[in-house]
Amino acid sequence: MRNRHVAAAGKPPRIDADDADRYVGYFENAHGEQALFIYDRDAQTAMVYLGDAGWDPAHAVVGGSVPDLVLNESERLWVRACWQACRGE
Protein backbone atom coordinates (compact mmCIF):
# COMPACT_ATOMS: atom_id res chain seq x y z
CA MET A 1 0.00 0.00 0.00
CA ARG A 2 1.09 3.57 -0.52
CA ASN A 3 1.81 5.44 2.72
CA ARG A 4 -0.28 8.63 2.89
CA HIS A 5 1.19 9.82 6.20
CA VAL A 6 3.98 12.28 6.92
CA ALA A 7 7.51 10.94 7.30
CA ALA A 8 7.32 11.45 11.08
CA ALA A 9 4.71 8.66 11.23
CA GLY A 10 7.40 6.21 10.18
CA LYS A 11 7.12 3.51 7.57
CA PRO A 12 4.14 1.16 7.38
CA PRO A 13 4.88 -2.43 8.36
CA ARG A 14 5.78 -4.91 5.65
CA ILE A 15 3.04 -7.53 5.78
CA ASP A 16 2.91 -10.73 3.75
CA ALA A 17 -0.77 -10.78 2.82
CA ASP A 18 -0.30 -14.13 1.05
CA ASP A 19 0.41 -15.94 4.33
CA ALA A 20 -2.52 -18.36 4.77
CA ASP A 21 -2.16 -18.19 8.56
CA ARG A 22 -2.72 -14.44 8.59
CA TYR A 23 -5.83 -12.31 8.11
CA VAL A 24 -5.11 -8.78 6.85
CA GLY A 25 -7.61 -5.93 6.84
CA TYR A 26 -7.05 -2.44 5.43
CA PHE A 27 -8.89 0.76 6.31
CA GLU A 28 -8.64 4.31 5.06
CA ASN A 29 -10.94 7.04 6.32
CA ALA A 30 -12.20 10.15 4.52
CA HIS A 31 -9.08 12.06 5.61
CA GLY A 32 -6.70 9.50 4.08
CA GLU A 33 -5.64 8.10 7.46
CA GLN A 34 -4.69 4.46 7.01
CA ALA A 35 -4.83 1.45 9.29
CA LEU A 36 -3.95 -2.25 9.08
CA PHE A 37 -5.52 -5.09 11.07
CA ILE A 38 -3.37 -8.22 11.29
CA TYR A 39 -4.65 -11.47 12.82
CA ASP A 40 -2.30 -14.41 13.37
CA ARG A 41 -4.44 -17.54 13.19
CA ASP A 42 -1.79 -19.74 14.84
CA ALA A 43 -1.28 -17.44 17.84
CA GLN A 44 -4.92 -16.25 17.80
CA THR A 45 -3.77 -12.67 18.34
CA ALA A 46 -4.60 -9.47 16.49
CA MET A 47 -2.75 -6.19 16.15
CA VAL A 48 -3.67 -2.85 14.61
CA TYR A 49 -1.21 -0.47 12.98
CA LEU A 50 -2.32 3.15 12.45
CA GLY A 51 -0.44 5.71 10.42
CA ASP A 52 -1.87 8.69 12.29
CA ALA A 53 -0.72 7.14 15.60
CA GLY A 54 2.70 6.33 14.13
CA TRP A 55 3.02 3.00 12.35
CA ASP A 56 5.17 1.53 15.09
CA PRO A 57 4.36 0.06 17.54
CA ALA A 58 1.37 -2.12 16.75
CA HIS A 59 -1.57 -2.00 19.15
CA ALA A 60 -3.14 -5.17 20.56
CA VAL A 61 -6.74 -6.00 19.74
CA VAL A 62 -8.58 -7.45 22.72
CA GLY A 63 -12.06 -8.89 22.24
CA GLY A 64 -12.60 -6.87 19.08
CA SER A 65 -11.45 -3.50 20.44
CA VAL A 66 -8.15 -1.66 20.87
CA PRO A 67 -8.03 -0.56 24.53
CA ASP A 68 -4.90 1.60 24.27
CA LEU A 69 -6.20 3.79 21.41
CA VAL A 70 -8.99 6.31 21.04
CA LEU A 71 -10.74 5.36 17.80
CA ASN A 72 -13.59 7.12 16.07
CA GLU A 73 -16.81 5.26 15.33
CA SER A 74 -15.87 4.12 11.82
CA GLU A 75 -12.49 2.85 13.04
CA ARG A 76 -14.12 0.95 15.92
CA LEU A 77 -16.64 -0.62 13.53
CA TRP A 78 -13.87 -1.62 11.14
CA VAL A 79 -11.80 -3.25 13.91
CA ARG A 80 -14.88 -5.10 15.15
CA ALA A 81 -15.76 -6.28 11.62
CA CYS A 82 -12.21 -7.55 11.06
CA TRP A 83 -12.28 -9.31 14.44
CA GLN A 84 -15.55 -11.03 13.63
CA ALA A 85 -14.45 -11.99 10.12
CA CYS A 86 -11.16 -13.57 11.15
CA ARG A 87 -12.58 -15.34 14.21
CA GLY A 88 -15.74 -16.60 12.49
CA GLU A 89 -18.04 -14.82 14.94
pLDDT computed for residue 53 by the predictor = 79
pLDDT computed for residue 65 by the predictor = 96
Phi, psi of 57 (to 5 degrees): -95, 170
10-residue stretch averages of pLDDT, the chain, 89 residues long: 53 75 90 90 94 85 94 95 90
pTM score, whole prediction:
0.85
pLDDT computed for residue 5 by the predictor = 47
Domains contained in the chain, number: 1
pLDDT computed for residue 66 by the predictor = 96
pLDDT computed for residue 3 by the predictor = 54
pLDDT computed for residue 17 by the predictor = 73
Residue 1 domain-assigned? Answer: no
- Domain extent, residue 65, equals 7-87
As a whole number of angstroms, the distance between CA 24 and CA 83 comes to: 10
Residue 2 domain-assigned? Answer: no
